[in-house]
Amino acid sequence: MQLPQKPTPRVFSGMQPTGNLHLGNYLGAMVRWVEMQNSHECIYCVVDMHAITLWQDPGELKQAIRSVTAAYIAAGLDPDKSILFNQSQVYEHAELAWILNCVARLGWLNRMTQFKEKAGKDRENASVGLYAYPVLMAADILAYRATHVPVGEDQKQHLELCRDIAQKFNNDFSAAIRAAGFEDGTFFPLPEPVIMGPATRVMSLRDGTKKMSKSEPSDMSRINLTDDADTIARKIGRAKTDPHPLPESEAELEGRPEADNLVGIYAALADTSKAAVLAKFGGGQFSTFKAALSELAVARLAPVNAEMNRLLADPAEIDRILATGARKAQAIAAPIVTRAKDIVGFLRS
């Protein structure tokens, strides 16, 4: 198959298979990805191979892959518009990762802050996979010659590494790349991060200075996608606030992290601005605002929750969707990875 000289615009992103998705994931990642599918060619991957860089219970991993797939579909991701699949079904990711392992330098990986955080104090005991994690992520992206990668701020360093790897591959093999017909010597594009930044940072309901997170011990700190209406209302009702009424202007949210967070959540759920939310609720008491926010959160999340449960009741159908997605993904990745193997000097079968 003929590959285009210049990679066509293509979005790629990956999500870890975790069953415990929360409002931060929903507003910060899922809603954004769903939006992008209307204007771009999008490939979204459940990164199960990344998941096992830390030990996972095999039965729970299978469930988590289905669960995150169901959540994204429930949030509006359309498997007929976007490609949706799990990483381990498309072996080109592993194949290209090996080649890129031989391009990336130890010194580059030694700088990765996420490895240091995840490996903790006992680094000698971390898996080799955890160390090589960012190279597999580069392979995910480059196997599709993807040009745009929507990620959270925390993934920026990995994206920069991906660009360095792509650049070094292009340099190291420039003659072979030109000989293969890529006249400007570029085989891999340098993908652009599309940072879903602080505007969509949803903070903990118990502490407005901390990110809402699945790893926070208190369940009251987050709204899970699986929470029912009563639980959502209870969590918002008990959310931390300050003793002042809501301000009239956005500038006055400064220094009031809890108020800022709740107003931000309302704005994101209602698809409007914080200023518009304050125009409506400014000067009023938190109790009134919280009641309206609960109603809105339930109205937005209940259908997602219901659809997710409906999908999860038929795991075989989810598996079929992922298998179809994997076939479509592979149709794109196979000719690219075959060409990369040819460029580095492997013989074809």
Q: Which does 7 bind (CB under 5 to 8 A by kind): ligand AMP, ligand TRP, none?
A: none
Q: Which does 50 bind (CB under 5 to 8 A by kind): ligand AMP, ligand TRP, none?
A: ligand TRP
- Residue 213 Cβ vs ligand AMP, minimum distance, rounded to whole Å: 6
Q: Which is nearer to ligand TRP, 145 or 300 (CB)?
A: 145
- Residue 225 Cβ vs ligand AMP, minimum distance, rounded to whole Å: 12
Check if the beta carbon of residue 43 is closer than 8 Å to that of residue 211.
no
* 29 is a site residue for ligand AMP (CB under 6 A): yes
> Which of 147, 106, 152 has its CA nearest to residue 7?
147
Q: Which residues, other chains included, contact 318 with Cβ-Cβ below 8 Å and sequence gap of 6+? A: 66, 69, 70, 311, 312
- Residue 184 Cβ vs ligand AMP, minimum distance, rounded to whole Å: 33
Kindly tell me which residue out of 3, 16, 91, 130 binds ligand AMP, with binding defined by CB under 6 A.
16
Residue type, 87: Q
Q: Which residues are catalytic?
A: 118, 211, 214
Q: Which does 14 bind (CB under 5 to 8 A by kind): ligand AMP, ligand TRP, none?
A: ligand TRP
- Residue 104 gets which letter from DSSP? S
3-state class of 215 per DSSP?
A: coil
Q: Which is nearer to ligand AMP, 138 or 212 (CB)?
A: 212
CA distances from 102 to 99, 272, 339, 344, 346 (A): 5, 47, 17, 11, 14
* 28 is a site residue for ligand AMP (CB under 6 A): yes
Q: Which is nearer to ligand TRP, 137 or 312 (CB)?
A: 137
Strand pairing partners for 11?
A: 42, 148
> Which of 181, 114, 119, 130 has its CA nearest to residue 339?
181
* Total interface residues for ligand AMP by CB under 6 A: 14
- Residue 16 Cβ vs ligand TRP, minimum distance, rounded to whole Å: 5
Q: Which residues of 27-63 are buried (b: 16+ CB within 10 A; e: fewer)?
A: bbbbbbbbebbeebbbbbbbbbbbbbbeeeeeeebee
Kindly tell me which residue out of 25, 53, 67, 226 binds ligand AMP, with binding defined by CB under 6 A.
25
Residues that bind ligand AMP (CB under 6 A): 15-16, 24-25, 28-29, 151-152, 200-202, 211-212, 214
